[in-house]
Amino acid sequence: MPDRPEIGAGVAGIDLSDRTALVTGSTSGVGRETALALGRLGATVFVHGRDRDTGRAVAADIDDSGGEAVFFRSDLTEQATVHALADEVRSRTDRLDILVNNAGAHFSEGSLTSDGVERTFAVNHLAPFVLTHDLLGLVPDDGRVVTVSSEVHRRAGGDFDVTELAGYDGLDAYARSKLANVLFTAELARRLDGPTANCCHPGFVPSSALWRDASLPVRASVGVLTRLPTFLSGGFIDTPATAAETLVYLAASPEVADVSGRYFSDCTLKSPASNATDERLAEQVWTLSEDLTGLSWPEKPSHTETTGR
């Protein structure tokens, strides 16, 4: 039997047949494995990605496994398309039990989006910020928001100057965006009354599409790691399926039903970097995100009342 994240996450017996989940970036890699696992657990899964054919194939796989899936095509680089994705989701459901902010990218070359924001920060942080804002009204009291961060967040400092490209470094930009994911999760949890918000490090997955926009040397190095046998990798390399375990755990496990604002790795609570627990920095990044998106969040966003549970 191939690796199944729900088994590694200890939730293979959980029934999600009355749940609806959106997994961004779920046409390949960790996101695909997460979507397939939630589908096998019975959830209605909204599959998201940029490639229509691949997305429909993932949706078909979920349907074939006994689940139900719908594909949504969207690029998350621009805020307008993130809002459009949220509009499409709202047109298909009045309830979203699980939101998995998984889509991410690493860019070796710096550039600004049409919104005037450094592209890595726009895709990896502002897209989840906007999408969560727009969809939170669909999330019930027992709903869950899961955001994928990375251990690379420990590399980042507290500099969030994301409207200029001076001295751009791809890995530093990625680390900054992943730190923003942790800070966003903590601040979101403080503002929520009901749904939970957690984030995680999924693992190191060389085969992930995350590296598709990296420089040629980076892609070559990652390619070498992909081909390493297990006994040489030292156990630090994950497959998309094993990396998806923590996402599935946070989305489905009753063990974390009442846990919020925390950082996980290997389905285990971990301590993030010290600056990731700085409430003042979290508030600053939140305010910056509102300024860059033109959004304003209430202290306790309204959400759908839980019924029939």
Enzyme catalytic residues = 174
Choose among 64, 70, 65, 98: nearest CA to 85: 70
Spatial separation of the C-alpha atoms in residues 46 and 22, rounded to whole Å: 5
199 alpha carbon, distance to own chain's centre: 8
Element (H, E) at 242: helix 240-243
Choose among 137, 131, 122: nearest CA to 176: 122
Cα-based angle 178, 184, 186 (whole degrees, multiple of 5) = 110
Q: Are the C-beta atoms of residues 22 and 96 closer than 8 Å to each other?
A: yes
Query: Beta-strand (E) ranges in the chain?
Result: 20-23, 44-49, 68-73, 98-101, 144-148, 196-201, 263-265, 268-270
Q: Are the C-beta atoms of residues 87 and 114 closer than 8 Å to each other?
A: no
Q: Are the C-beta atoms of residues 182 and 234 closer than 8 Å to each other?
A: no
Q: Where are the alpha helices (DSSP H) in 25-121?
A: 29-40, 52-64, 79-92, 119-121
Spatial separation of the C-alpha atoms in residues 123 and 270, rounded to whole Å: 25
Could you tell me which residues come within 8 angstroms of residue 92 by beta carbon, excluding any fewer than 6 positions away? Answer: 46, 70
Query: Beta-strand (E) ranges in 80-195?
Result: 98-101, 144-148
The β-bridge relationship of strands 268-270 and 263-265 is antiparallel
